Amino acid sequence: MGLKERREREKEARKRQILAAARKLLFKKGIQSTSINQIARTAELGVGTIYFYYQSKEEIFYSLQEEGLDIFFREIDAIGRAKTAPDAKLRETGRAYLRFSSEQKDYFDIINYFLATPTVILGSELKQQIDRKGSHILELIGGFIRAGVSEGMFREVDPKKYAIMFWGALHGLTQFKKLEDTVLEGENHQHIFNYAVDQLIDGLKRPKEH
């Protein structure tokens, strides 16, 4: 391994160390009560080292959201590249989101934390960057719907609006996992989730001609 490659790996390892500390503090204290000094102590690094990689704590938390959205985008992009029908792509998108919420739970919880926060924590520029990431995912989902309309499989709908509704429904349905022992007692969350996704997709389809 060359010196340049080793340094790059060391930099990436240091950034992961910082992000892991920030993630831990986010869920324990919340972003408002978390400081760069606390992140440095938790990461066992100097404050100067933190500022070498990030300009502010907001930029650190932006990076955590960005990583999570990038992972999810790659999942949906792969679904889009597969040679499957539009309804299958939407169904697989639902499964991918549920999978993401468990296999990438740290990232999912961070995204959920900021979605559930009523105030704008990130500065306008960072928020716009995050919103663009989300928009790219919506564009992929909207593309599946647009293709279904074009092929005559789906009825005429606004692809963007339906994509927003679809993603919103996925997110809400995923949250019901927390209610398995109460509201969903006696029901299997994954079965309910898949049933709801199928209903959303069936609602898009053109009625069969008799």
Question: What are the angstrom distances between the C-alpha of 180 and each of 67, 93, 111, 192?
Answer: 29, 22, 22, 11
N residues, the chain: 210
Q: Which residues contact 149 (CB under 8 A, 6 or more apart)?
A: 155, 156, 157, 159
> Tens of pLDDT along 49-108?
999 999 888 888 888 888 889 999 999 999 999 999 999 999 999 999 999 999 988 888
Share the mean pLDDT of the chain.
Answer: 88
pLDDT at 5: 85
pTM (two decimals) = 0.82
- The single residue listed with the structure tokens 């989101």 is 97
Q: Which residues contact 31 (CB under 8 A, 6 or more apart)?
A: 57, 61, 121
Closest residue by Cα to residue 34 from 47, 44, 21, 46:
21
pLDDT at 63: 86
Task: List the domains of the chain with CATH numbers.
Answer: 1-54 (1.10.10.60), 56-202 (1.10.357.10)
Max alpha carbon distance in the chain (Å)? 72
Tokens of 170: 């996925």
> Tens of pLDDT along 119-146?
555 566 777 878 888 899 999 999 999 9
**Contact at 8 Å (CB) between 14 and 45?**
yes
Beta bridge partners of 154: 205
